Each structure stands twice: as structure tokens, then as C-alpha cells.
Amino acid sequence: MAMDTKKFPLSKDTAIYTRGLSKTFGKVAAVEGLALEIPAGEVFGLLGPNGAGKTTTIRMLSALIAPTAGEAWVAGYRVGADDTKLRKVVGILTETPGLYEQLSAERNLGFFAQMYDVEKVDEQVERYLHMLGLWNRRRDAVGTFSKGMRQKLAIARALLHEPQVLFLDEPTSGLDPEAAHLVRDFISELGSEGRTIVLCTHNLDEADRLCDRVAVFKTRLLALDSPLNLRRKLFGREVVFHLTKVNPGFSEALRQKAFVQSVETMDNKLVVKLDDPERRNPELVQELVSLGAEIQFLGEKRQSLEDVYLQLIRDQVQP
């Protein structure tokens, strides 16, 4: 990884680092004081409502627009200091694929490969056309492609020069479920290759599945952690005991335990909130069995990332 060692504040394992990154358009603040540190090889999700500043952030980090305040380093290059070099080491999938409709898929990729100074243009173009299943349509004008094919071609374009950091802005937006699934699988593969990927999406299930960590933000950063930790931080951990029949004494007995934070009864279920269920569950099971409860099964209640997101956006408070 190229490194501006004089200025880069962190180790070479950090792919993206921002400090107080801000952008205003006139009097409107699009991004305020964003502080991020994304290690190399991480799949990182940027979540937020429309107008939250996700695209603006991606554009700043790929040196398309300049920050109003703060600093950012991407792949060792400081944003605003050496933007032409920075653009060589990042790839971006823009919100709209933006392809030359009259040109063939091959010609589109060939053009961008040369723009990125790719050495073996033909080989690289062929590689990605094969990889994304577009080889047989390589000579067809892009204008004849389906939305899914265009999106795949745009992803190929973002990858042609083997960027160290890849920005994907709504990669599955508007795709049918099959095409979206293919694109997600491809992103997952890219992540496993050790590329740093910043994924900007409204699809929270997608973020949950693909991202190592996510940042929820609405102009300001609201939360940043792995999806699992965000759930736990926001909602705690809850274990659900499915019983054949719930006796009022069961919940009362569990509440007596010092480590139990709360107990709720729902139909034939007991929902117990506690820390460290891996260690405490056996004790709870023993207690319930001793009280005559018949446990059918138990499991941890999983809040969806959507629940986390909605809670954060509604409250706009730090968890």
C-alpha cells in the first residue's frame, strides 16, 4: 500500500481514516465531523436515510468532491493533497451505473481500464467479463442490457484496476431478487479476498449479511460497530424460553436472580433479558425445571439490524 508516511497518522493496516470530516453545501451541512477508522480488508457499511450524507461521504473519500473541514486518508493518500494518485487506488460504483450505452460491454471496460492505466487491458477486461457472467454479451451495446447486467458491468468497471478500496453506492438498488442475490454473492467474494469495501445501502438485511461493521449516520455519526454488537448495545441480550405452559411463579423465580435484568411473559414464552447468557442459561434452565416447567426449546432473541437502525434514526442518540 502506498503511504504518505509523513502525514498519515496510522499504520498501513488502516485503509480509511477520517478526522472531523465535514461537508457543507451553502448553509446546509451534509456531513458533520465524521470520524472513522476502517482497517484494510474490512467490509464496512454506511447506513442512513436519504440525504444523510452517505453519497457525499463516498464522494469525498474517492476524491470527487473536497471536504469543507476535517481530514481523510484513503489507502495512504490524503484527500485533497494527491487526488489523482488517490483515484488510482480506489474503485467506485456510483449510484447510477453510468455506462456508455452505444458502446459494447468490452469497449466500456476497455476504455476505463486504459483510463486507470491498467497494464494488460484485454486480459483484465476478459477476466472481469467472465467473472460477472457477461462474456457472451461482450460485443453487445450496453443499451441492450438489463438493469442487473448493467449493474454487474459497473461493478466490473470499479474493479478493473484492482483497487485497494472499493466504494459501492447502493449496489443492489432496483435489482430483481435474483440479480441482487448475484451481486451480493459477488461482494461477499470480494470481501473474502481481503479488499476493503465500503458499502452504502438502504438494504439493512444486506448490510447485516455482508458487513463486518456498520456506521449509522444522519449527517453526524450515530453509531459504529458490528451489527451484532449494535444489537446488543441497543437492546441487550434476551433469551426466549418456549414452554408447554407458563406458570406465573416461573417469571417471579427468575426475577429473583441477580443477573436477570427483566422477565416478560408472552403466550407460552418467557423472554429473559440478561448479560452473558452462555454462562447463565444452565442455571435458568435448572431453576425452571425444578419448578416443573417443561422446556420445549430455547434460543436468543435476535433483533434485526432494521430495529437497531430505526431506533437510532428515531432517537438520534448514541447507544
Q: Which amino acid is at 54?
A: K
The reply on whether position 94 binds other proteins by CB under 8 A is yes
Q: Name residues contacting other proteins, limited to 100-139 (CB under 8 A).
A: 100-103, 107, 111-112, 114-117
Minimum Å gap between C-beta 90 and other proteins is: 8
We find the least distance from the C-beta atom of residue 273 to other proteins, in angstroms, to be 46
Site string for other proteins, 144-183 (x = CB under 8 A): ----------x--x--------------------------
Q: Does 231 bind other proteins (CB under 8 A)?
A: no
Q: Which stretch binds other proteins (CB under 8 A): 96-104, 189-197, 245-253, 301-309?
A: 96-104
Pattern 24-43, other proteins, x by CB under 8 A: -x------------------
Shortest separation between residue 17's beta carbon and other proteins, angstroms: 20
Residues in a beta bridge with 218: 220
DSSP per-residue codes, 162-222: --SEEEEESTTTT--HHHHHHHHHHHHHHHHTT-EEEEEES-HHHHHHH-SEEEEEESEEE
* Residue from the set 92, 175, 197, 284 that interacts with other proteins by CB under 8 A: 92
**∠ Cα 95 97 103 (to 5°):** 165
Smallest distance, Å, CB 69 to other proteins?
A: 15
CA separation, residue 189 to residues 43, 45, 150, 210, 300 (Å): 11, 16, 19, 10, 29
Under the criterion CB under 8 A, does residue 69 sit at the interface with other proteins?
Answer: no
Reference 173, options 200, 191, 198; nearest CA is 200
Comparison of 102 and 146: residue with beta carbon closer to other proteins: 102
Give per-residue burial for 153-183: e unless 16+ CB within 10 Å, then b: bbbbbbbbbebbbbbbbbbbbebeeebbebb
Select the residue interacting with other proteins from 43, 52, 99, 149 (CB under 8 A): 99
How far apart, in whole angstroms, are the C-alpha atoms of residue 112 and residue 118? 9
Q: How far is the CB of 163 from other proteins (least distance, A)?
A: 10
CB of 97 to other proteins, least distance (A): 7
As a whole number of angstroms, the distance between CA 255 and CA 263 comes to 7
Closest approach, Cβ 114 to other proteins, in A, equals 4
Among 96, 192, 316, 318, indicate the residue that binds other proteins (CB under 8 A). Answer: 96
Residue 204, C-beta contacts closer than 8 angstroms, at least 6 positions apart: 47, 304, 305, 306, 309
Interface ranges with other proteins (CB under 8 A): 25, 59, 62, 64-66, 84-85, 87-88, 90, 92, 94, 96-103, 107, 111-112, 114-117, 154, 157
